[in-house]
Structure 1
Amino acid sequence: VVTKTTQPFHIALAAVMLLTWLSKPSPNASIRLWRALYVGAVATHLGAQIWMTLVSGIVLYFTLPRHDFGRVQTVLFPLYYAFNAAMSLIGLFAYTRTQYLSNFEHISWVQVALLLAMFSIEAFIRLRLVRPMIRAKHIKTQMEEAAGGGQEIGQLILGELAHCPRYMRILRVFRMYHSSIAMGTMITLGCSLYSTMILVDSICT
């Protein structure tokens, strides 16, 4: 990553912009930095959610063969939910720290509850749901490949596997975990959107 991609230049540019902003004089430098961390965490969290659920997920599902898309999910899911849980926790910590420095004058307990709910759900998904979902998907994929399936795009064609009790049982387990993860994702997306609107309100007042 350091030597073969342009990502280090992106990080360097972000660091330069941050240092330029921090160099501006401010009477409340400490609270200003915590607010920046809070806003950055909330914005990054929402951006990751929108990209993962509304852009890349849809594009890849209707572009790649189903098994190739599944391999991408296997790599991204653990990282995605760990990253989002971290952003939620950073946002929660930075927000409460900001309120502590301002003597809790304008604290929104709804915001605290939203950030805590996002962290709890995403951490639970990462620690308890992602691994068994990937395990069930791996078994399901092996059975589909043995039957010559998995290359269709944007759909599931069961074929002869529809008459295999073991495959149908694994498929139900996979769908149960996948549906639970999807439900948690939608709840956290709603929380994230409302959390952002609270941030907008705090700027407007």
Structure 2
Amino acid sequence: MEQSWEPGSLTKVMHLLVLAGAWGMQMWVTFASGFLLFRSLPRHTFGLVQSKLFPSYFHISVACPFINLCILAPQHAWAQLTFWEAGQLGLLLLSLALAATNARWLGPRTTAAMQALQILEKERGLGGEVPGSHQGPDPYRQLRDKDPKYGALRQVFFRYHGLSSVCNLGCLLGNGLCLAGLALNLGSL
């Protein structure tokens, strides 16, 4: 019969730091920096910053659950996993899969669609304004209504962006549940 071993203090600290660091990064990128940058930067500058920031963010979001899986997986006898242990491993696997989907598939496609949109917007003198600063009719809506190619590109962009956002929220939720589980099981650590 397989025996599980008791992790050392350094292993426990590494697990907690990686998990908490990933969750904190995800909270900041998801709920703070994006909104602050969107309201402060010209539209195309915001897109450029996001297109440079997100690949690193997504790859770090892949590395963190991978590291935690490498820390946790050898600690348990697989046949004797508790509900909490199996749940934590499952949440980390889910976070890994969602982050990898963002890093390798959705992120690059979202960026490519955004860049194609920006080319069409620049041709019409758009993109240099801070969102919400224009008066009168929305020039982006007018462009979407007049140019079917632009309208189709917007749909592609928002489809990939929406899927990417759902994956990101899934990672955030998975890491948050892992942290909550750790907090509830502090006595058994």
TM-score, shorter chain, exceeding 0.5:
yes
Following superposition, the deviation at residue 176 of structure 1 comes to: 0.6
CA–CA separation in structure 1 for the residues paired with 2:11 and 2:81: 14
Counterparts in 2 of 1:161 and 1:99: CA distance versus 1, 3 Å = same
Give the conservation status (yes or no) of the 8 Å contact 1:99–1:105.
Answer: no
Partner residue, 2:135: none
SS at match of 1:62: helix
Q: Which amino acid aligns with 1:191?
A: G
TM-score (norm 2): 0.85
5 Å-filtered alignment, 1:57-76, equals 57-76=34-53
TM-score (norm 1): 0.79
Match of 1:161 among 132, 143, 156: 143
Following superposition, the deviation at residue 125 of structure 1 comes to: 1.2
5 Å-filtered alignment, 1:36-51, equals 36-51=13-28
Following superposition, the deviation at residue 34 of structure 1 comes to: 1.7
Match of 1:94 among 64, 67, 71: 71
Partner residue, 1:120: 97
| Equivalences, count | 176
Identity percentage of aligned residues = 25
Structure 1 residue runs without a partner (length 5+): 1-27
Cα displacement string for residues 59-99 of structure 1 (whole angstroms, at most 9, x for unaligned residues): 10111111110000110111100111101111121122344
Structure 2 residue runs without a partner (length 5+): 133-137
Q: Which amino acid aligns with 2:45?
A: D
Counterparts in 2 of 1:99 and 1:35: CA distance versus 1, 3 Å = farther
Cα displacement string for residues 37-77 of structure 1 (whole angstroms, at most 9, x for unaligned residues): 21111011101101101111111011111111000011011
CA–CA separation in structure 1 for the residues paired with 2:24 and 2:94: 18
Partner residue, 2:108: 131
Matched, 1:146 2:128: no
Give the conservation status (yes or no) of the 8 Å contact 2:95–2:171.
Answer: yes
CA–CA separation in structure 1 for the residues paired with 2:141 and 2:174: 40
CA–CA separation in structure 2 for the residues paired with 1:106 and 1:96: 14
Q: Which amino acid aligns with 1:192?
A: N
Match of 1:173 among 119, 138, 156: 156
Q: Which amino acid aligns with 2:184?
A: D
